[in-house]
């Protein structure tokens, strides 16, 4: 069981924005790794209307104690007014990989 790590999910409106954000959070040591998924279709309500857009999804692997700083960083550097920031706890995983996440976020 691991309660020291999290996966943070966010989306962007372009591949370039996803790549820039991924590189920035890894460079700032707020994440060990970010995976960028090919365009996903998001259907959501915004400003009173239902929209459907292509977005690039980022899966950000981080240490739990970096969540607040990571969330602030995403808000500050994201192109959206209200970016998605969802943190999912890591319940278990390879001890070597989890140790690597911790090491890379220091």
pLDDT one-digit tens code per residue, 17-75: 999 999 999 999 999 999 999 899 999 999 999 999 999 999 999 999 999 999 999 99
Q: How confident is the model at residue 1, as a pLDDT?
A: 45
- Main-chain phi, psi angles of 38, to 5 degrees: -55, 165
Tokens of 105: 């976020």
In the predicted model, is pLDDT for residue 2 greater than 90?
Answer: no
Q: For residues 3 and 104, which has the higher predicted lDDT (pLDDT)?
A: 104
pTM for this predicted structure: 0.92
Tokens of 60: 């950000």
CB atoms within 10 A of CB 1: 7
Domains held by the chain: number: 1
Residue 73 belongs to domain with CATH number: 3.30.70.120
Q: Write the DSSP symbol of residue 105.
A: T
Tokens of 36: 């960028």
User: For residues 51 and 7, what is the distance between their CA atoms, to the nearest angstrom?
Assistant: 26
Tokens of 94: 């390879």
Task: Say if residues 19 and 77 touch (Cβ distance below 8 Å).
Answer: no
Domain encompassing residue 38? 5-104
């Amino acid at each position: 069981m691991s309660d020291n790590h999290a996966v943070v999910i966010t989306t962007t409106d372009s591949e370039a924005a996803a790549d820039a954000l991924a590189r920035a959070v890894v460079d700032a040591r707020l994440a060990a790794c970010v995976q960028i998924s090919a365009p996903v279709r998001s259907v959501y309500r915004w400003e009173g209307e239902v929209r459907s857009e292509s977005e690039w999804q980022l899966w950000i692997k981080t240490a739990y104690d970096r969540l607040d700083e990571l969330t602030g960083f995403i808000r500050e550097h994201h192109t959206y007014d209200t970016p998605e920031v969802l943190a999912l706890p890591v319940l278990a995983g390879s001890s070597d990989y989890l140790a690597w996440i911790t090491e890379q976020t220091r």
